[in-house]
Every structure is written in structure tokens, then in C-alpha cells.
Structure 1
Amino acid sequence: MAKNIDILTDPATGDLRIDTRRNSQGVYAEGVQVGEATAQNQAAILQMMKGESKEYPTLGVGITNIANDHETAGWVCEITEQLKADGMRVNEVKIDLTNNKLIVDADYDTK
């Protein structure tokens, strides 16, 4: 399966997105939702602290630590490295402290 296709989670709660529709025979025809997960994976990598993933202990940015840091160059490098480590092609990472915006232009090479 392509790395950009994964089980989807609800961004507000982190819970699995589940659709419990039944078919005409009353059998569950739907279940765990699967789909495009690039943005979901980016959010997880940005939020996760190093060591939080037991399978990949060096993966994670810990973006909450940027709150009182006015030096963004190191954060841009760290974000870029972490997304590349997950197999993404990173086109741009930009931190705008004036407007409190993080711009990430990255995606998985699905070829």
C-alpha cells in the first residue's frame, strides 16, 4: 500500500474514523475508513515528541516547544528532516511568527 494511504483518524479527537453502515442483508458493509493520510501523518510527526513512538524513537518534532522560541531556522531544518525521514518529498517549510503560521508543502512520492 502506498504510504499516503492509511487508516484515517478524527483530527479533533484522534479516534479512528469508523463508518458503520449495513448493506441490504443487514451485514456491516463499512468499517474503519482508509484514505489519503498525508496531512494526518504530517500533523502526527509535528506533534509527536521524540521517543513517543516506540517503533521509531527518533521520529517527532515536538512543535509545542516552538511557543517561546524566536529562532525558526532550526525548527525549519528539524521539520524538514523529520518529514524526509518518513519518506516525504519536502518542497517548502516556512514558519511565520508574525502571523503564527506554519506552512508545510510536502508529500509522499507515490510513483
Structure 2
Amino acid sequence: MEFCLMTDIFLNKTGDLDIQNGDIVIDYSDNQHQEHILLANKGDYKEFPELGVGINNMLNEDDFLPFLIEAKKNLQYDGMKINNIKFEENGNLNINGDYQ
């Protein structure tokens, strides 16, 4: 099976265009796309109003399972094949999957 590595306009840590030597940086962007989908709320992407997980909304929740299900559905909709998605003991979200 062949996996594709997405390249796209890259954003820096503050969310601004990453510009180096006067040029917009084009780089590996899979992680950036995942982050944007997890942070976005439904309706943030006008062309795809059902895309978005709204991770900030789950911060006060005790049950993380609905969030993990929603994250998996949204990432699959974006073209990822998800093998596993879970929270680690340290609180980090681990996404095991690749874009097809």
C-alpha cells in the first residue's frame, strides 16, 4: 500500500504564514491538517460545515470516548486511514494513521 505525504502552505507556531528568505514555505503538512481539524468547530469550514472536532469544548468533560469517535470520523473524512486513536497516560493524543 502506498501512502501519500501531503505538502501545503506551512504555518508557523503562531498560525501565521511561515516565510523564509522571502518565500512562503511549502512543507509536510499532515500534522498541521490534523491539528486544524481537531481545533476547528463544526461550521468553521464554510465549504465543509460538518468538519471539525472542537477539542476545546471537551476540556471540561469526563468522558473522552465521544471526542475520540468524532476525531476518528473527521480525520477519516479528511482522507486518513486511522489504525488507532487514544489518549496517552500523560494526556497527549496519539493518532496512529496515515493519509491514503
Q: TM-score, normalised by structure 1?
A: 0.79
Is 1:37 paired with 2:29? yes
Question: Gaps (5+ residues) in structure 2?
Answer: none
1:4 counterpart residue number? 6
Question: Gaps (5+ residues) in structure 1?
Answer: 22-30
* Cα distance in 2 between the residues matched to 1:90 and 1:59: 16
Is 1:56 paired with 2:48? yes
* Cα distance in 2 between the residues matched to 1:7 and 1:107: 19
2:20 counterpart residue number? 19
* Cα distance in 1 between the residues matched to 2:6 and 2:96: 14
Is 1:89 paired with 2:81? yes
Which structure has more strand as a fraction of its residues? Answer: 2
Count, aligned residues: 97
Give every structure 1 segment of 4 or more consecutive aligned residues whose post-TM-superposition deviation is greater than 6 Å.
Answer: none
Q: TM-score, normalised by structure 2?
A: 0.87
Residue 78 of structure 1, CA deviation = 0.4
Sequence identity percentage: 35
